Structure 1
Amino acid sequence: MPQMAPLLWLYLYIFFLLSLMLFLLLNYFIKPFEKMSLPSPSAPTIQTPWSL
């Protein structure tokens, strides 16, 4: 029936919003893997200073 089409789109819109909110919440609470730490400043550097 054509009268039911607006309700179908409303339900699809609500389902989309709920799934989007669930996706965003899961991404917020699930932490990514720990990044590799940068080398400590006391480590010897191989770079040579610029000289003219």
Structure 2
Amino acid sequence: MPQMAPLLWLYLFFFFLLTFIIFISLNYFFKPFEKIDFKASHSHVTPQSAWKL
């Protein structure tokens, strides 16, 4: 569409870049939830605390 203003394409490009960067960063920082293993939760073994040596 050459009749559109040339600056509009620049604004659309920057809007696309901004939304793409936000989308990639959200996908990087927010991991999907881990599935709960119900069979392991019924066992009587207590897990060790991670902060104890």
> Which structure has the bigger radius of gyration?
1
CA RMSD of aligned residues (A): 2.2
What percent of counterpart residues are identical?
67
Structure 1 residue runs without a partner (length 5+): 40-52
Structure 2 residue runs without a partner (length 5+): 40-53
* TM-score normalised per structure 1: 0.57
Moved over 6 A (4+): none
Aligned residues: 37
* TM-score normalised per structure 2: 0.56
